[in-house]
Amino acid sequence: MSERIDSNWTPVGTLPNHLTLRSSRLKYFFSFFLSLLFVAVAIWAFNGGVNEWWVWVTLILFGSGALLSLIMLFNPSTLHLTRKGFEQTHLFKSKSFEWQDVSEFNVMSVRTGNFSNQSFVTFSRLDDEGNVIADISTKLLGGSASLANTFGMNPKALAILLNKFRDRTLTEGPNAPAPIASSFSGDVNSPDDSWQPVNDGGVLVYTPGDEKAPWVKWGLSTVLLATIATGALWLVSQTIVTDDIPTDRPRVELPTSNGDETEEAETPKSSDEEAWVRALEKDTLGGYREYLQQFPNGKFEEDAQEQIDAYDNKAWETAENRQTIAGYEDYLEAWPEGRHASKARERIAEMKARAEAITKDAKERAAQEAADWDRAARENTVASYEQYLSKHRSGANAGEAQNRIDRLKASAADEAAWTQAKTANRADAYQQYLTSFPQGAHVAEAIAAIDQLKPAPGRVFKDCDVCPPMVSIPSGNASLGAEDNEADARPNEKPRRPVTITNMFAMGVTEVTFAQWEACAAAGGCPARPSDNGWGGGKRPVINVSWDDAQKYVSWLSSKTGQSYALPSEAQWEYAARAGETGIWAGGSPTALCAFANGAAQESGLKWANNACTDPSSDRTLPVGTLGSNKFGLKDMIGNVAEWTLDCNTLNLRDAPTNGEADQRGSCNQRSVRGGSWFSGAADVRFAARLMQRRGDSNDFTGFRVVRKISN
């Protein structure tokens, strides 16, 4: 493995403790440009019409080589040696080796190969006879490349360099081990040791350019590249040949055997060849057909027919892509005897048959749809239209069917809501209907019902033809009863107290008339017509009716109209009579009272008569509505006839309700009458005046008017 060499050698100076070798980039540079050249040639050949396998192989192999060379150009192999070992790195792998107590060894050898051998570094310990006692060896590079070749230097130069590194790094002191033994001829340990470090502690880099002139390498490389390029161009020129196409280029005759040169002679073309050249120059369907017409059995008949067939196939491909009857008919028009003419006729027949079947099926489906639609329209129900849609979801009448379903459903919901509102018969129920169905079928009826149930304040209405006219009284607050210092006030009219009317209500514009009572009597709801004292009936207020008789009338009226009618409470009566006034009399004085009240006037001759008033009918009632109305639109609230109320007889108003309800305390066998009559003087026609009568009594100066509840 190694030979014993004289070890009486002393290292020169103190050198770096590590050395870095980088492979030469020159070979990768030339490999990269050489690969690019081959790629360019291959592309040129391909564009020139040579679609051969070797072109593709060249593109793949040399394209990959160019890429790999470019990568290696910027990532060369590196060998880094230190006192502790070495690390060899390149693009694809990295390998390290650490010296193992090399002080026991006295020989370090390097064995390298050129291309097929492996590269090793070995540390050996020899005995005095030069025999190997022990050694440590490691492979520097795998594969077929050698260490020296990898780093672009000859093996001998690398061995010399490693000798120097080993001797200057592994040797400490005067007793240096033997230098590296090498398998190469020549003295690897030059006695003239002129090697010096670049700097103390620096890195020594060795490249082939340090030993040879660079212009020689560049010159040789340029010559090599030019030679390869010339050969590649010649190869391509020999490959791109069109043997079948005649050319106008003259043919050069070979020289004769005696060495004489012959003149270039141009072989004349036949008319067949000339016609073919013209066809090629035109390169159209007409040109190739023209050639076959001239030379049906010509030299280029097969070539011409091949070109015509290509046009035929192209036209057929277009027809196939269109997939329409018109497309195949266009093909037959252009190629009536073409290669695909029979197939085109078959396709046309198939497509027409399918079209006829589709048309027939469409007509049948249209007829069925029309019948189903007629049936659905006749029934005109949600179910019938839904059945139509289940069969004809995309039918001609599908949209209209869905619209009718929506309308029918809306109408059904409308009717249900309207029925519910009518059943409740409240203003809020009708208002809910209007909110839910603003365009409903019963909007006008709902508005009218609300108007009737909850008319606006001051609006006059009637719930039936024979019903008394009613006026809406607004809710509000008022002080009712007599003041403590009010003249002619009785104890049962005091004290004056605030009353709140929370809900609007309706009150008869006038007292109930004989005509209205007679309607009730005719219907069996009231007793027979009472006596009118010979004054006449009709529009005069009904008289000679008791409180119980009045209750029968309001009960009949409620039943007839479906509304809630009743006699007024005292609070409702006085609140409506005052209509916002706070004085003692209507109009504010006994004199002003004359315009509103039919009471005992000066013509009556009664001692309690109101002498400020004159009355053409001082001893009887007047037809209702003869005199003026108050601010709420009510007439005859004062005078004409006294009016029954719901309240019982009480000693005073101290604990009377303040919410407008009737006072049911006290003696209910007697009921309060309010407003005075044609027989009353000024004291009895005050707003606060209260008179009591037994509920079963009747007379010619007492009647009544009604109130009606207005729903919310």
The secondary structure of 183-230, three-state, reads: CCCCCCCCCCCCCCCCCCCCCCCCCHHHCCCHHHHHHHHHHHHHHHHH
Residue 168 lies in a domain: yes
Residue 446 lies in a domain: no
Residue 643 lies in a domain: yes
Q: Residue 617 pLDDT > 90, yes or no?
A: no
| Range of lowest pLDDT (98-112, 327-341, 384-398, 527-541) | 98-112
Residue 368 lies in a domain: no
Q: Which regions of 23-100 does DSSP assign to beta strands (E)?
A: 78-82, 85-89, 94-98
Q: Residue 206 pLDDT > 90, yes or no?
A: no
Q: Which helix or strand (DSSP H or E) is residue 695 part of?
A: none
Same domain, 200 and 212: no
Give the mean pLDDT of 22-40: 67
Same domain, 135 and 177: yes
Which of these three, 180, 205, 230, is where a domain ends? 205
pLDDT tens track for 392-409: 888 888 999 889 999 888
Q: Per DSSP, what are the bridge partners of residue 138?
A: 121
- Beta-strand pair 119-126/132-141: antiparallel
User: How far apart are the C-alpha atoms of 606 and 46, rounded to whole Å?
Assistant: 143
| 484 compared with 99, residue with greater pLDDT | 484
- The pair of structure tokens assigned to 166 is 């080993």
Burial class from Cβ neighbours inside 10 Å (0-12, 13-18, 19+) for residue 333 reads: exposed
Per-residue confidence (pLDDT) for residue 611, from 0 to 100 = 80
Contact residues for 120 (Cβ-Cβ < 8 A; gap 6+): 110, 111, 137, 138, 139, 140
Q: Per DSSP, what are the bridge partners of residue 692?
A: 672
| Range of lowest pLDDT (14-23, 28-37, 288-297, 631-640) | 14-23
User: Confidence class of residue 548 from pLDDT cuts 50, 70 and 90?
Assistant: very high
pLDDT tens track for 156-180: 455 555 655 555 444 444 444 444 4
Per-residue confidence (pLDDT) for residue 237, from 0 to 100 = 58
Give the mean pLDDT of 240-249: 41
| Range of lowest pLDDT (94-108, 218-232, 248-262) | 248-262
Same domain, 150 and 30: no
Q: Residue 135 pLDDT > 80, yes or no?
A: no
- The pair of structure tokens assigned to 367 is 């007829």
Torsion of CA 144, 146, 147, 153, to 10 degrees: -140
Give the mean pLDDT of 46-70: 70
Per-residue confidence (pLDDT) for residue 262, from 0 to 100 = 43
Which of these three, 350, 382, 400, is where a domain ends? 350
Residue 200 lies in a domain: yes
Per-residue confidence (pLDDT) for residue 96, from 0 to 100 = 63
Same domain, 658 and 703: yes
What is the number of structural domains in the chain?
A: 4
End-to-end CA, the chain: 124
Per-residue confidence (pLDDT) for residue 515, from 0 to 100 = 97
Of residues 405, 347, 393, 348, the one with CA closest to residue 369: 393
Give the mean pLDDT of 261-287: 79
Helical segments of 425-526, H only: 427-436, 443-453, 514-522
Residue 187 lies in a domain: yes
> What percentage of the chain has pLDDT greater than the value 70?
66
- The pair of structure tokens assigned to 48 is 């020139």
Q: Residue 184 pLDDT > 60, yes or no?
A: no
Same domain, 196 and 304: no
Same domain, 69 and 189: no
The rounded mean pLDDT for the chain is 77
Q: Residue 29 pLDDT > 70, yes or no?
A: no
Give the mean pLDDT of 620-646: 95
User: Confidence class of residue 102 from pLDDT cuts 50, 70 and 90?
Assistant: low
Per-residue confidence (pLDDT) for residue 232, from 0 to 100 = 63
Of residues 471, 503, 438, the one with CA closest to residue 659: 503
Same domain, 461 and 558: yes
| 261 compared with 590, residue with greater pLDDT | 590
Residue 592 lies in a domain: yes
pLDDT tens track for 456-513: 888 999 999 999 999 999 999 999 999 999 988 999 999 999 999 999 999 999 999 9
Same domain, 110 and 60: no
Of residues 660, 655, 643, 642, the one with CA closest to residue 494: 655
Per-residue confidence (pLDDT) for residue 496, from 0 to 100 = 95
Can you give the residue range of the structural domain that contains 346? Answer: 273-350
| 611 compared with 560, residue with greater pLDDT | 560
User: Confidence class of residue 219 from pLDDT cuts 50, 70 and 90?
Assistant: low
| 419 compared with 190, residue with greater pLDDT | 419
| 225 compared with 613, residue with greater pLDDT | 613
Q: Residue 711 pLDDT > 90, yes or no?
A: no
Give the mean pLDDT of 648-663: 94
Per-residue confidence (pLDDT) for residue 605, from 0 to 100 = 74
Per-residue confidence (pLDDT) for residue 72, from 0 to 100 = 64
Q: Residue 194 pLDDT > 50, yes or no?
A: no
Contact residues for 201 (Cβ-Cβ < 8 A; gap 6+): 16, 17
Give the mean pLDDT of 624-646: 95
Convert 287-328 into a string of H (helix), E (strand) and C (coil): HHHHHHHHCCCCCCHHHHHHHHHHHHHHHHHHHHHHCCHHHH
Same domain, 485 and 630: yes
Same domain, 552 and 675: yes
Same domain, 516 and 634: yes
User: Confidence class of residue 131 from pLDDT cuts 50, 70 and 90?
Assistant: confident
Same domain, 556 and 701: yes
Residue 549 lies in a domain: yes
